[in-house]
Chains A and B, each alone.
Chain A
Amino acid sequence: DAGITQSPRHKVTETGTPVTLRCHQTENHRYMYWYRQDPGHGLRLIHYSYGVKDTDKGEVSDGYSVSRSKTEDFLLTLESATSSQTSVYFCAISETSGTDTQYFGPGTRLTVL
């Protein structure tokens, strides 16, 4: 298995609070991604990074921000959590973009009350 960890694995928080999810990789892959997974929607890309301090938006980026200060770490922040952000969040990595295999972390289940 690719060396990808996510923390925390489970979190319950209240509406309006900030939340930060962490993804850590040991593979030295250039690309890192944050997805959310909801029933009936498959996986939807939130943000991705193509290098240290290089990030871009995905299809559902509103309400989320990201940072990547080191190759191995990619942080996802919900500035003010809402109930619509209750979801399972997956981090993924790949050596290149496009046709390269994406390796996924174990996921973080976030509940916003």
Chain B
Amino acid sequence: GENVEQHPSTLSVQEGDSAVIKCTYSDSASNYFPWYKQELGKGPQLIIDIRSNVGEKKDQRIAVTLNKTAKHFSLHITETQPEDSAVYFCAAKDSNYQLIWGAGTKLIIKP
């Protein structure tokens, strides 16, 4: 079945700098890759997603890139702000149409 690995587990960046979180997946048939943000004490919330027929997608300061050949996808956050501090999860849709999740990355924005 699908397996998703996420790195790093913790990422600390200076406010204003960029942050990159990477995920790899195992099932070459997977074709949907969302990213969720979880703030303290809340449930995860979708921030961006990408389908396998697209290599990159942007939404203001966030972007996701997908490399199907290497089976990895990445979340890029530019001009980081204090409100970006949270835990970020990647996921991949498996052959049963369910999401398999990465272990999460705690992003810390230093003032």
Contacts and interface: CB of A to CB of B under 8 A. Distances in A.
Contacts of B54: none
Contacts of B103: 40-42
A104 B1 CA distance: 24
B97 A97 contact: yes
Interface stretch (A13-21, A43-51, A66-74, A75-83): A43-51
A106 B42 contact: yes
Interface residues of A, number: 22
Q: How large is the interface on B (under 10, 10 to 19, 20 to 34, 35 or more residues)?
A: 20 to 34
B69 interface: no
Given A42-B101, A42-B104, A99 B93 contact: yes
B51 interface: yes
A3 interface: no
Given A43-B44, A104-B45, A107-B43, 14 more contacts: A40-B9, A40-B103, A41-B103, A42-B101, A42-B102, A42-B104, A43-B89, A45-B98, A98-B32, A101-B34, A101-B46, A104-B43, A105-B43, A107-B42
